[in-house]
Amino acid sequence: MPVIVVANPKGGVGKSTLATHVAGYWAARGHAVMLGDVDRQQSSRLWLSLRPPQARPIAAWEVSRDFIVRPPKGTTHVVLDTPAGLDGYRLKDLMRLADKVLVPLAPSIFDIYATREFLGQLNALRGAAKAEVGIVGMRVDERTIAASQWRQFADSLGLPVLAALRPTQNYVYLAARGLTLFDLTPGRVARDLAQWEGICQWLDARPGA
């Protein structure tokens, strides 16, 4: 059972957008998906409450900020949305559960410095946990200087850079309705789905493959 943890200590970087879309992708493929929200803001839980009944089901995983447990039986795929400032024993608990960690990274100097320190913490824990780590750019406008700086930093990490997702109102529109790109007719969001191809391939690959 793959467990994906979406984590970055910086707030507002797009963790919930990424977590809900990973859950939506797996649900679209017919998996029994649970989405857990360890963030105090409970954005992913709110998103689940907005999800229409006709959409593919995604179950809520009842977890708390201070105590992480194994997901219940019957679950085949798990996604965990995490809080800003994640560190200490909570990070260790999550890393013990995680098969893969997705780190969203926005193109700003503040996000870059916060993420650099966080990746150092992850690297210190990975020897025991052995979770794979992938980087996803959030709200990256490739025409900007900030995007160029983001790309230079991301490429220097020695980790797979899975995608650079463009800034678009599609994510805002879908979040307000409890939906993802994978709930829509592909032709309506073809450009954004194309950007997700690398993420989806990484999610589907077995750890270590």
Give mean pLDDT, residues 1-10. Answer: 88
CA dist., res. 80 & res. 97, Å (int): 10
d(CA 47, CA 75): 19
Q: Exposure pattern of 162-199 as b/e (b: 16+ CB <10 Å)?
A: bbbbbeeebbeebbeebbbbbbeeeeebeebbebbebb
Provide the pLDDT for residue 136.
96
pLDDT single digits (tens) 12-66: 889 999 999 999 999 999 999 999 887 667 788 899 999 999 999 999 876 655 4
Answer yes or no: is pLDDT of 209 > 70: no
Looking at residue 123, its pLDDT comes to 79
Crossing angle of helices 15-28/197-204, nearest 10°? 70
Mean confidence (pLDDT) of the chain: 87
pLDDT value at residue 87: 67
89 vs 189: which has the higher pLDDT? 189
Q: What is the pLDDT of residue 71?
A: 67
Q: Please answer whether residues 32 and 75 qualify as being in contact, where contact means their C-beta atoms are separated by less than 8 angstroms.
A: yes
Interval 167-199: pLDDT, tens: 999 999 999 999 999 999 999 999 999 999 999
Q: Is pLDDT of 165 > 70?
A: yes
Give the mean pLDDT of 90-101.
Answer: 82
Question: Is 90 exceeded by the pLDDT of residue 70?
Answer: no
pLDDT at 206: 79
What local confidence, expressed as pLDDT, does residue 64 receive?
56
User: What domains are there in the chain, each with its CATH number?
Assistant: 3-204 (3.40.50.300)
116, 39 Cβ separation under 8 angstroms: no
